[in-house]
Amino acid sequence: CGGSMEVLPCARVAHIERTKKPYNNDIDYYAKRNALRAAEVWMDEFKSHVYMAWNIPMN
């Protein structure tokens, strides 16, 4: 897509959690969904490795 990745040593990343979560506590589901999303967007021809590692058929 022509994007770029940049390393910024002074950058800070944080995650603030809610007291009451409005979603399921099955974090594996969300972690896998987000990893597949990242693979689809960023990994191009290497995304098949993610699908093979989790035994998920590619569409």
Is the pLDDT at 53 greater than 80, yes or no? yes
pLDDT attached to residue 29:
82
* Residue boundaries of the structural domains of the chain: 24-59
Instruction: Read off the pLDDT of residues 36-47 as tens digits, 9 standing for 90 and up.
Output: 898 889 888 888
Residue 35: closest CA among 46, 25, 24 = 46
Helical spans, DSSP H, in the chain: 27-42, 47-53
CA distance 26 to 33: 11
Token pair of 32 as six digits? 């896998």
Q: Please, what is the average pLDDT of the chain? A: 79
Instruction: Give, in degrees to the nearest 5, the angle at Cα 46 between 10 and 36.
Output: 70
pLDDT attached to residue 1:
62
pLDDT attached to residue 25:
67
pLDDT attached to residue 17:
75
pLDDT attached to residue 9:
74
